[in-house]
Structure 1
Amino acid sequence: MVDESGRDRILVLGIGNILWADEGFGVRVVEEFHRRFTVPDNVTILDGGTQGLYLVNYVEEADGLIVFDAIDYGLVPGELKLVRDDEVPRFTGAKKMSLHQTGFQEVLSAADLLGRYPQRLALIGCQPLDLEDWGGPLTAPVHAQIEPAIELACALLAEWGAAAVPRREPLVGDARLLANDIDHHSYELRARPAE
Structure 2
Amino acid sequence: MNQRTSAPDTTCHQGGDSATPETICVLGIGNVLWADEGFGVRCIQALQARYEFADHVQLIDGGTQGLYLIQHVQAATRLLIFDAVDYGLQPGELKTVANDAVPRFMGAKKMSLHQTGFQEVLMLALLTEKYPQEVLLIGCQPEEIDDYGGSLRPRVKLALEDALALGLATLREWGAQPVPRTSPLTEREVVTFSQLDLQVYEGQRPDETLACRTGDERFFPATA
* TM-score bin, normalised by smaller chain: over 0.9
SS at match of 1:122: strand
Q: Are 1:5 and 2:10 counterparts?
A: yes
What displacement does 1:26 show? 0.2
For 2:186 and 2:112, how far apart are their aligned partners in 1? 30
SS at match of 2:196: coil
Normalised by the length of structure 2, the TM-score is 0.81
Q: 1:164 aligns with which of 170, 178, 190?
A: 178
Matched-pair contact (CA < 8 Å) for 1:64–1:120: yes
| Aligned residue in 1 for 2:121 | 107
For 1:58 and 1:5, how far apart are their aligned partners in 2? 18
SS at match of 1:27: helix
| Aligned residue in 1 for 2:30 | 16
What are the within-5 Å matches in structure 2 for residues 142-161 of structure 1?
A: 142-161=156-175
Q: Please identify, of 148-157 and 171-180, the stretch whose mean Cα deviation from structure 2 is larger.
A: 171-180
What are the within-5 Å matches in structure 2 for residues 66-85 of structure 1?
A: 66-85=80-99
Alignment-mate amino acid for residue 88 of structure 1:
V
Deviating above 4 A after TM superposition, structure 1's stretches of 4 or more consecutive aligned residues are 172-175
Q: Are 1:118 and 2:132 counterparts?
A: yes
Which structure is higher in RCO with an 8 Å CA cutoff and minimum separation 6? 1
Structure-2 change in CA distance of 1:65 and 1:88 (3 Å) = same
| Aligned residue in 2 for 1:133 | 147
Q: Percent identical across equivalent pairs?
A: 51
For 2:9 and 2:143, how far apart are their aligned partners in 1? 43
Q: Aligned residue pairs: how many?
A: 194
SS at match of 1:145: helix
| Aligned residue in 1 for 2:103 | 89
Q: What is the root-mean-square deviation of aligned Cα atoms in Å?
A: 1.8
For 1:96 and 1:171, how far apart are their aligned partners in 2? 34
